[in-house]
Structure 1
Amino acid sequence: MKWPKRIIKAMSAVVMLYLVAALLGSIFPANQFWKSPDDGIELFIETNGLHTGIIMPMHSDAHDWSELIRPQHLDDPTEYGSHILVGWGHEGVYRNAEHWQDLRVKDAASAVFGSSDVLLHVYHLNYPQVYPHYRRSFKVTESEYRLIVEAIKQRFVLDEAGRSIPSPGYGKDDLFYKSRGHYNAFYTCNSWTSDVLRQAGIRTGIWTPFQGGVMRWFLESGPEN
């Protein structure tokens, strides 16, 4: 009877260490002295309570996403948006768990221990506005935005003709795209969001496996000063 108890205690300790590390990682900043420019490209960070993503304009002077994300990918091209919300994550979790209550044990276990079955998730939006509880805005320079774009583009798997590979999403205004990368408990969908921002020099937590660790850096009134 001692070994089961020891195993349970060890597992509990590992979980506690993980949660403490996640809290500390979300509190301590990377790119601590970054400031959002007054005049720049407006982006948004959004969460659905499980996943976070970055909202970007479909077209801008800095980049045009229509080469990879095309109207004809959608069943109804009229849903093609002025902006896109892009996230990255574990295929099983993404396809089967739009919200926390939908998460299956099988998918959760695969996500924790690691899988290369990953997807980019793209929502089409029209002229998004701030919603304090789940969508917050910030601005970046053109050079910062190009770094964000490049980090995301590198995740797309392309076919022999250089085209992205879409598949159906949750509804008529979103799609999944075949992606590259490796998902695990230490590199989650929310870690990816922060990683993209961090590579562009934007302030965020040094390790943010949960959505709250990402969102805390973008307060309701704008980026934390």
Structure 2
Amino acid sequence: MTTTERKRSRFRFWGRWLGMGLAAPFFVAALWGLAGLAGALIPAPVAVQTGEATVEIGLIATPIHYDLLLPLTPDLRARFGFAAQAGVAVDSPEAGWLLVGWGAREFYTAGGGYGDLPLRAVAKGIAGDASVLRLEAWGRFALRDAPEVTRLRLTPTGYAALLARISAELGAPELVKAPGLTQADAFFAGRSGFSALRTCNVWMGEALRAAGVPLGRWTPTPQALRLSLWVWG
């Protein structure tokens, strides 16, 4: 083998390894997404909640996760009254719904478009980060008039279990950032951790199962959660 051929052979060798290295993150991400779809199809234990399903809540999707929409009843306004001091208009007569979201602290609070997120925030979310809850008051409207909202009906005991889970996640409310993504929301510290294995969609699945909504065992992506709702709901 000539010197030129040896150089070409080494170039091809390292080129293959470089190509494999560049492709590896996409391969892992694809496997993670497929595993999430499989997890959505595996039935999980669901809290049994008795009574008639009379409480309507909403799920609203973003490109990467779901948020809850909860009816701003007098009881809910009182429960989340602490958020008013951070600029969340829970006590406004114009408000009809409270948006509740959960996610990785550094990633979720970064703001801006997804393309503007610092790599450190993305890496920390994958490896493990603290969590935050996002609260925002929305106006009055009927969920049936909002086609982008998935409507769920819970029993009163199931709804109480959902609120208890949110309150447990908040603990003694600790403000992290206000305003947050808009001029009318705020982030509060969560009590549990975020990672690639326990994403915002996994947390949402846990909260909904506690409320009596049948779902799959692991729903790390919005697609997995959507599939799980369709299959088991």
Letter aligned with residue 177 of structure 1:
F
Is the 2:33–2:221 contact (alpha carbons within 8 Å) kept by the matching residues of 1?
Answer: no
Larger proportion of helix: 2
Residue equivalent to 1:153: 167
What residue number does 1:64 align with?
A: 76
Structure 1 position 194, deviation (Å): 0.9
Shift in Å at residue 125 of structure 1?
A: 1.1
Matching of residue 170 in structure 1 with residue 184 in structure 2: no
Residue pair 2:40, 2:216 contacting (<8 A) in 1 also: yes
**What SS does the aligned partner of 2:67 have?**
strand
Mapped partners of 1:154, 1:78: distance in 2: 25
Residue 138 of structure 1 and its aligned partner are, at CA, apart by 1.1
Counterpart in the other structure of 1:107:
121
**Secondary structure at 1:190's aligned position in 2?**
helix
Identity of aligned residues (%): 21
Equivalent residue pairs, number: 214
In angstroms, what is the RMSD of aligned CA positions?
Answer: 3.2
**In structure 2, C-alpha distance between the alignment counterparts of 1:75 and 1:27, rounded to whole Å:** 37
Alignment-mate amino acid for residue 177 of structure 2: S
After superposition, the Cα gap between the structure-2 partners of 1:48 and 1:7, relative to the gap in structure 1 and judged at 3 Å, is closer
1:120 paired to 2:167? no
Structure 1, residues 120-166: CA drift from partner, whole Å, max 9, x if none? 0012112343433x3111110011111111111111142xxxx5536
Offset, 1:180: 1.6
Q: Secondary structure at the match of 2:95?
A: coil
Instruction: Write the deviation string for residues 22-67 of structure 1: whole angstroms up to 9, x where unpaired.
Output: 11112334358989x875100001112122111112226xx53423
The unaligned stretches of length 5 or more in structure 1 are: none
Q: Could you tell me which residue of structure 2 aligns to residue 50 of structure 1?
A: 64
The one-letter amino acid of 1:17's match is L
Is the partner of 2:196 in helix, strand or coil? coil
- For normalisation by structure 1, the TM-score amounts to 0.78
Distance 1:213 1:99 in 2: 23
| Uncovered stretches (5+) of structure 2, i.e. residues with no partner | 1-13
C-alpha distance in 2 between matches for 1:126 and 1:208: 29
Of the candidates 84, 87, 93, which is equivalent to residue 98 of structure 2?
A: 84
Q: 1:22 aligns with which of 21, 31, 36?
A: 36
Normalised TM-score (structure 2): 0.76
